[in-house]
């Protein structure tokens, strides 16, 4: 159990983060009313489908006309549209929101995101033994004091939905329900860049039950997308996504700077005059990381694996690092990874002192909001967060492999599972 001293220190730290978030939310309210948050892209997609123009969903001129109708000030301040670059099936979710004025739709979506966040906190608390013994107010502080989650709430993003899907997948993983785990991961394809790297090792290892659940859901979502925008919309989507990542007029391509992933780290170290070198090194490092993750996953699926839950955390960290597109709110899924690692750190004596300090330091950095504000917003050097995540992955990977027994060992204990309520 967490000591009272530890709980007090965590409470003070997370309360400070929450107060900072409250100040930022207060200062952001006027911008929310003008349509500046990312929720504008979902509202735009809902309006386009509601008006029966799904086949034009990925036409910038159509999106601009819709955004100008409810957010002329936001469009003027950004200097460009916020393009809807998500898969077509996700637009179906926002058709009912098109019946509401923008601010009303934003508040409804905010309420849904708050509900999903609370669900994640309740579910994880019930399924962790040591962290689960902490008072619920501390869990609330941890959730709403985690900057990526706060940002996703304010921006009206769907990153919290992906976190919820991963949480449900993690609970299915712990119970051995691989097909259900795959189905929940498949539902996270609304942000496919936060899913595909997670699935690659499972494809290579031929985890048939997981893949059956995943591809069944993926097929259903693809058919829904086809029904929403037709063949024309579906075929235009890949080119639209690629173009949106390289269009300098879009806000995130001109303001954010380097991303908090391998791509961002490589681009910060390699001169812009050598784009092919950047691409090559990024590809090599991503393949190396996926190879390492696959080797760890192979050991995690053995009957004698020690703390196999750590492979889920490793997979989430790797997914963020390998992802081509990465903004601060996309890092919401690391909330789950951090808690899984913390639970194991508090349960086990198998970690070396140096590795334990390194892992705690990485988690502490992730829960330090000023780091995001300074690195990502003020100085536009999110790649420094990417370096922290790379250290997080390497240390956790080394320790996970070190604690695994030989292939002929007897089954080892895993994290204790509390009784279901």
DSSP for 118-170 reads HHHHHHHHHH-STGGGS-HHHHHHHHHTSHHHHHHHHHT-SHHHHHHHHHHHH
**Looking at residue 418, what DSSP letter applies?**
P
Digit-coded pLDDT (tens) for 111-169:
999 999 999 999 999 999 999 999 999 999 999 999 999 999 999 999 999 999 999 99
**Per-residue confidence at 351, pLDDT binned at 50, 70, 90?**
confident
Residue 313 confidence class, pLDDT cut points 50, 70, 90: very high
The SS3 assignment for 23 reads helix
Looking only at Cα atoms, what is the longest distance across the chain?
66
Q: Over 60: is that where the pLDDT of 255 sits?
A: no
43-93 tens-digit pLDDT: 999 999 999 999 999 999 999 999 999 988 888 888 888 899 999 999 999
For the cut 70, the answer to whether the pLDDT of residue 410 exceeds it is: no
Residue given tokens 């806000």 in the structure block: 251
pLDDT band at residue 408 using 50, 70 and 90 as cut-offs: very low
pLDDT digits (tens, 9 = 90+) for 226-235: 999 999 889 9
Q: Tokens standing for 408?
A: 């002929």
Q: What percent of the chain has pLDDT over 70?
A: 93
Structure tokens at 365: 């950095």
CA–CA distance, 344 with 85 (Å, rounded to integer): 37
Confidence category of residue 418, pLDDT binned at 50, 70, 90: low
* pLDDT of residue 409 exceeding 60: no
- Predicted local distance difference test score (pLDDT) of residue 16: 96
Collapsing DSSP to helix, strand or coil, 381 comes out as: strand
pLDDT digits (tens, 9 = 90+) for 321-343: 999 888 899 999 999 999 999 99
Query: Can you tell me the mean pLDDT for 184-197?
Result: 95
CA distance 262 to 267: 8
SS3 content of the chain, % helix, strand, coil (to 5): 75, 0, 25
What does the DSSP 8-state code read for residue 258? B
Instruction: Look at residues 139, 135, 115 and name the one whose alpha carbon lies nearest to residue 338.
Output: 139
Lowest average pLDDT, out of 219-223, 246-250, 275-279, 289-293, goes to: 246-250
* pLDDT more than 90, % of the chain: 72
**Per the structure block, which two tokens stand in for 83?**
């393009």
Whether residue 412 has pLDDT greater than 70: no
Which residues are CB-contacts of 368 (< 8 A; sequence separation ≥ 6)?
17
Q: Which residue has the tokens 């999110």?
A: 382
Q: What is the pLDDT of residue 200?
A: 96
Asked if residue 70 lies in contact with residue 39, where contact means CB atoms within 8 angstroms, the answer is no
CB contact set of 41 (below 8 Å; sequence gap of 6+): 82, 83, 84, 85, 86
CA dihedral of residues 201, 410, 309, 284 (deg, nearest 10): -30
């Amino acid at each position: 159990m967490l000591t009272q001293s530890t709980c007090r220190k965590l409470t003070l730290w997370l309360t400070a983060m929450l107060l900072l978030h409250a100040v930022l939310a207060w200062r952001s309210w006027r911008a929310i009313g003008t349509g500046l948050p990312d929720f504008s892209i979902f509202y735009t997609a809902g309006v386009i489908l509601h008006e029966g123009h799904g086949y034009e969903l990925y036409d910038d001129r159509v999106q601009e006309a819709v955004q100008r109708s409810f957010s002329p000030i936001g469009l003027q301040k950004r200097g460009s549209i916020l393009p809807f670059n998500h898969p077509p099936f996700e637009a179906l979710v926002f058709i009912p929101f098109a019946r509401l004025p923008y601010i009303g739709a934003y508040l409804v979506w905010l309420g849904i995101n708050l509900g999903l966040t609370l669900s994640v906190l309740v579910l994880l608390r019930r399924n962790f033994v040591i962290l689960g013994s902490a008072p619920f107010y501390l869990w609330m502080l941890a959730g709403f004091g985690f900057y990526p989650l706060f940002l996703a709430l304010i921006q009206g993003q769907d990153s919290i939905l992906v976190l919820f899907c991963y949480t449900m997948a993690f609970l299915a993983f712990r119970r051995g329900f691989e097909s259900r785990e795959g189905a929940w991961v498949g539902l996270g394809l609304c942000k496919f860049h936060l899913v595909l790297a997670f699935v690659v090792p499972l494809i290579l290892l031929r985890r048939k039950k997981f893949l059956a659940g995943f591809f069944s859901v993926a097929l259903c979502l693809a058919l829904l997308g086809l029904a929403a925008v037709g063949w024309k919309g579906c075929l235009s989507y890949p080119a639209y996504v690629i173009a949106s990542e390289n269009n300098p007029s879009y806000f995130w391509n001109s303001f954010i700077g380097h991303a908090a992933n391998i791509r961002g780290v490589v681009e910060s170290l390699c001169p812009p005059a050598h784009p092919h070198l950047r691409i090559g090194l990024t590809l090599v490092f991503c393949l190396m990381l996926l190879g390492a993750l696959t080797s760890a996953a192979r050991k995690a699926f053995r009957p004698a694996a020690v703390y196999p839950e750590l492979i889920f955390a490793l997979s989430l960290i790797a997914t963020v690092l390998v992802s081509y597109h990465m903004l601060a709110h996309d890092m919401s899924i690391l909330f789950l990874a951090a808690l899984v690692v913390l639970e194991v750190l508090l349960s086990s004596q198998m970690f070396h002192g140096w590795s334990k300090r390194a892992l705690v330091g990485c988690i502490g950095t992730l829960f330090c909001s000023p780091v995001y504000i300074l690195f990502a917003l003020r100085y536009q050097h999110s790649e420094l967060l990417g370096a922290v995540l790379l250290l997080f992955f390497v240390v956790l990977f080394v320790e996970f492999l070190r604690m695994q027994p030989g292939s002929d060992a007897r089954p080892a204990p895993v994290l204790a599972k509390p009784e279901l309520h």
